[in-house]
Amino acid sequence: MEDPMEVIDYLSNPLVIPFIIFSDINMPKLNGFELREQILANPEISSKCVPYIFLSTSKIPENVLKAYSCYLPGYFKKEDDFTKFRTVISTILDYWFTSLTPTNSL
């Protein structure tokens, strides 16, 4: 989604059950931390138990610490090299395809 302001409305739809949410920290209008807080505060969305992953260029230790304080299951650095980036994405997806969550174990 291009506009993070539309995410909450989209995810609130009961017919929408995403597999995973990739978010950056630095987004226009609403940063990744604010979006995560809104998702956690919304029972319709948080009950879907969708993994919320930060994928960011930032490796600042304060951002990583803050991310995990938002009950994040993962924080990954965006790699500049496409092959490395593809490996990171593949590793994340492999993990979550294998992991059981309330939405994929039914």
Which residues on adjacent β-strands are paired with residue 85?
none
CATH superfamily of 4-98: Response regulator (3.40.50.2300)
Backbone phi and psi for residue 46, each to the nearest 5 degrees, phi listed first:
-65, -30
b/e map 61-100, b = 16+ CB within 10 Å = eebbebbeebebebbeeeeeeeeeeeeebeebeeebeeee
Residues 36-94 have pLDDT tens digits of 999 999 999 999 989 999 999 988 999 999 999 999 999 999 999 999 999 999 999 99
Token look-up 């939405």 returns: 103
Report pTM.
0.87
